[in-house]
Amino acid sequence: MSRSMYYYAHRKDDSEVVNTLMDLACKYPRRGFQTYYGKIGLAGLSWNRKRVLRVYRLLNLKLRIKRKRRLPNRIKEKLIVPGAIN
């Protein structure tokens, strides 16, 4: 590994993104990333989608996906055979 790579430090400050996402999470607690990113875009902030998603995941705002419940097995009954034609 090169020396410059070893001493490299990120200069990006994501505090604005963190504050905005936390405000949106307080206002809309059961919404997901798509809603938050849409609200950020409507507010006129042009942040990269990957950047916002990275911060969203770091804050553990991910919601559990609700899976469909399986229906219980039905009781199988034999079909009634008619005795005569209508």
Residue whose token pair is 């400050």: 13
Residue 53 lies in a domain: yes
Residue 72 lies in a domain: no
- The range of the structural domain enclosing residue 50 comes to 11-58
Give the other-Cβ count within 10 Å of 26's Cβ: 8
Residue 84 lies in a domain: no
Residue 68 lies in a domain: no
Tally the domains of the chain.
1
pLDDT in tens, 2-55: 899 899 887 888 899 999 999 999 999 888 999 999 999 999 998 999 999 999
DSSP 9-41: ------HHHHHHHHHHHHH-TT--HHHHHHHHH
Residue 80 lies in a domain: no
* Mean pLDDT of all residues in 51-76: 89
Q: What pLDDT is stored for residue 86 in this prediction?
A: 77
Residue 78 lies in a domain: no
Residue 74 lies in a domain: no
Fill in the DSSP letter of residue 56. H
